[in-house]
């Protein structure tokens, strides 16, 4: 059953708040049908912090909007504009007026594009293809280049919803676009799920020639739940694995950059292309731990790890009990209650147990050193006051 602007997906919750600084990082998850109480697929995404962004084929300089882009037919030889995303983390100077003035580049349009909802990133299309996103750090975060690097994740997610119907087709297309047209900005993760199958694709710069980009994708097994929070979650890349895909440039570029060679064993995607934690120790992994701990407490996962490349938290896991819609929403209300990171306790929480903290200089994004402690940094919770919008998508079975 296709959706229309007036026939809703079961749950789309948007919380639009005041204008804040550009993206402060997000938390997203996928609950596969075998892991949900009603047998449906769930995709959850928090868009934490926002400024300008690409929304419905244009750059928007205001509080983020929820936009419906209708289906359309296009004439032969039509071209699709690709806009620069000011929130990409690219080092190049830019302004909203410059970004709006003209597209970064054009690519050939297809004959027919599907209708879809989008915000800062694509959300869901008329064929029940759902999407989520998180930002990550990467060793190489190149500037855009109209000749070599024209895509950031925002436009990639929109084009995937315009042109594909299934999660596997979506990650395949995103990978092809990165390979052909290049990727700029921060590392990024996009989640795609249709009613039956879910995939994750992670991407960054780092090709040895500065063209294209690096990416890896992995299927989430049915019956399991995937959680991501500003760190790449794909680890060993296994050639021939039908549940993985990756860029043809990955192995040659990793070797030429001195990041990996055959004597090191299997290529670890996270360790190869990324510095791991996005800001300070436990900024990302604490959230992964907290949600996985709530999903499967029987695993007794420790809140502490030895380093940013720890394998203590599985890529995906089976829940102790299948999640309901209420359970899924509860994951987005997490402030580490009842754990060692509990933000509702201590002097800073005040007399009313307030879990929210104003961000200080040590909470900013940036590279960290193994074992480094940033005095005054707060644990990064799933639920934060700088959330621009959040949603949970679920499709009736």
Task: Pick the more confident residue, 334 or 281.
Answer: 334
Give the DSSP H or E segment for 161: helix 153-163
Is the pLDDT at 313 greater than 80? The verdict is yes
pLDDT, mean over the chain: 87
Q: How far apart are CA 309 and CA 216, in angstroms?
A: 17
- Give the per-residue pLDDT at 281: 79
* Domain assignment of residue 18, yes or no: no
Q: Which residues contact 192 (CB under 8 A, 6 or more apart)?
A: 129, 130, 131, 160, 167, 170, 171, 198, 199, 200, 201
Q: How confident is the model at residue 282 (pLDDT cuts 50, 70, 90)?
A: confident
pLDDT in tens, 62-90: 456 789 999 999 999 999 999 998 877 65
Q: How confident is the model at residue 357 (pLDDT cuts 50, 70, 90)?
A: confident
* Domain assignment of residue 4, yes or no: no
- pLDDT more than 70, % of the chain: 84
Which structural domain, as residue segments, surrounds residue 379? 27-394
- Give the per-residue pLDDT at 5: 39
Rounded to two decimals, the pTM is: 0.90
Q: How far apart are CA 242 and CA 320, in angstroms?
A: 27
- Give the per-residue pLDDT at 290: 97
Q: How confident is the model at residue 368 (pLDDT cuts 50, 70, 90)?
A: low
Per DSSP bridges, beta strands 130-136 and 187-193 are antiparallel
* Domain assignment of residue 10, yes or no: no
- Rounded average pLDDT over 337-349: 95
Of 160, 159, 145, the closest CA to residue 213 belongs to: 145
Total domains in the chain come to: 1
pLDDT in tens, 34-50: 999 999 999 999 998 75
- Rounded average pLDDT over 306-322: 96
pLDDT in tens, 151-204: 999 999 999 999 999 999 999 999 999 999 999 999 999 999 999 999 999 999
354, 355, 359, 363: CA torsion to nearest 10: 150
Q: Which residues contact 214 (CB under 8 A, 6 or more apart)?
A: 178, 183, 203, 204, 205, 206, 207, 247, 249, 250, 253, 254, 273
- Give the per-residue pLDDT at 280: 79
* Domain assignment of residue 22, yes or no: no
* Domain assignment of residue 19, yes or no: no
Of 306, 290, 180, 175, the closest CA to residue 234 belongs to: 175
């Amino acid at each position: 059953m296709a959706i229309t602007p007036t026939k809703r997906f079961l749950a789309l919750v948007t919380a639009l708040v005041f204008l804040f600084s550009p993206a402060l990082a997000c938390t997203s998850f996928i609950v596969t049908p075998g892991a949900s109480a009603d047998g449906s697929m769930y995709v959850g995404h928090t868009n934490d912090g926002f400024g300008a962004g690409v929304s419905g084929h244009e750059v928007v300089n205001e509080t983020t909007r929820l936009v419906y882009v209708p289906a359309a037919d296009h004439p032969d030889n039509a071209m699709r504009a690709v806009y620069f995303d000011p929130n990409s983390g690219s080092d190049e100077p830019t302004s909203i007026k410059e970004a709006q003035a003209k597209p970064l580049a054009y690519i050939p349009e297809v004959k027919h594009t599907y209708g879809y909802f989008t915000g800062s990133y694509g959300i869901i299309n008329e064929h029940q293809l759902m999407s989520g996103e998180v930002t990550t750090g990467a060793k190489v975060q190149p500037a855009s280049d109209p000749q070599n690097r024209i895509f950031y994740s925002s436009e990639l997610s929109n084009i995937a919803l315009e042109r594909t119907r299934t999660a596997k087709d979506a990650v395949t297309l995103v990978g092809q676009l990165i390979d052909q047209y290049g990727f700029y900005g921060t590392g990024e993760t996009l989640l795609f799920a249709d009613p039956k199958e879910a995939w994750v694709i992670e991407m960054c710069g780092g090709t040895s020639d500065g063209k294209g980009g690096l990416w890896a994708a992995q299927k989430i097994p049915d019956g399991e739940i995937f959680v991501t929070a500003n760190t790449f979650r794909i680890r060993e890349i296994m050639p021939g694995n039908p549940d993985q895909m990756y860029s043809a440039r990955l192995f040659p570029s990793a070797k030429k950059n001195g990041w990996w060679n055959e004597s090191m064993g299997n290529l670890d995607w996270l360790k190869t292309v990324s510095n791991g934690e996005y800001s300070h120790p436990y900024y990302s992994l604490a959230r992964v731990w907290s949600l996985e701990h709530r999903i499967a407490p029987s695993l007794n996962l420790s809140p502490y790890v030895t380093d940013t490349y720890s394998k203590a938290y599985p890529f995906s896991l089976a829940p102790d009990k299948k999640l309901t819609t209420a359970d899924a929403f509860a994951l987005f209300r997490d402030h580490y209650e009842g754990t060692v990171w509990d933000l509702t306790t201590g002097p800073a929480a005040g007399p009313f147990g307030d879990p929210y903290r104003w961000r200080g200089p040590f909470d900013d994004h940036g590279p960290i050193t193994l074992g480094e402690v940033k005095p005054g940094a707060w644990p990064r919770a799933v639920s934060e006051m700088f959330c621009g919008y959040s949603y949970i998508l679920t499709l009736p079975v």
